[in-house]
Each structure stands twice: as C-alpha cells, then as structure tokens.
Amino acid sequence: MSKRITVGVARPAAVTVFINGRAVEAYVGESVLTALIAAGVLTTSRDSFGRLRTPFCNMGVCFDCLVEVDEGEGASSRVRACLTPVRAGLRLVVPEGH
C-alpha cells in the first residue's frame, strides 16, 4: 500500500529506484528519503556500534539518514538521503533484517 498522498497531488511520471535490489516507484523532484519512507524503509544505516539509524531532522543536520548508493563496478558512496534528489536507476543499500 502506498504511503503517499494521492488525492489532489500532481506528480511527474514515476521512475524506478532500487532498494536492496527491490524495484520501487519514486518521483524526480523528491528526496531519496521520501522515496525510502514511501517504500516503508525507515532505517538507513548502522552506527559504529552496529545500531540501526533512522532519519531524525529531515534537513541535513543530523546525518542519521546516511544511506549507501551503489555506484556500480564495486564503487559506492554515502549520501544524506534527505538532501539527495531521486534520479532514475538509483541503487540504494540499506540495512536488512529490521
């Protein structure tokens, strides 16, 4: 079930992003964090003690939304999901088992 507001909202055509390999619908113009939350993903990473982290501020301050982006060919980067715009084909890696 979608967690998005659907009544009275106009969005561009959907693009596909991948969360741990699972294809989900997202929209250019929204943040990666919005796409994650809409897909039901509330944890983005683990801290140095292995504890799950979840977004807190949604404005780039807390860094609790750091998420891994698979850049392909073995490369990856970590970005703040709340400040990173969605783009088609984005491959996100988040902790499993929660």
SS3 track for 3-25: CCCCCCCCCCCEEEEEECCEEEE
Q: How far is the CB of 67 from ligand FES (least distance, A)?
A: 9
Whichever of 27 and 63 has its CB closer to ligand FES, that residue is 63
Which residues are 27's β-sheet partners? 14
Binding site for ligand FES (CB under 6 A): 55-58, 60-65, 80, 82
Phi, then psi, of 27 in degrees rounded to 5: -130, 135
Please identify, using beta-carbon distances, which residue of 15 and 62 lies nearer to ligand FES.
62
Closest CB to ligand FES among residues 14, 47: 47
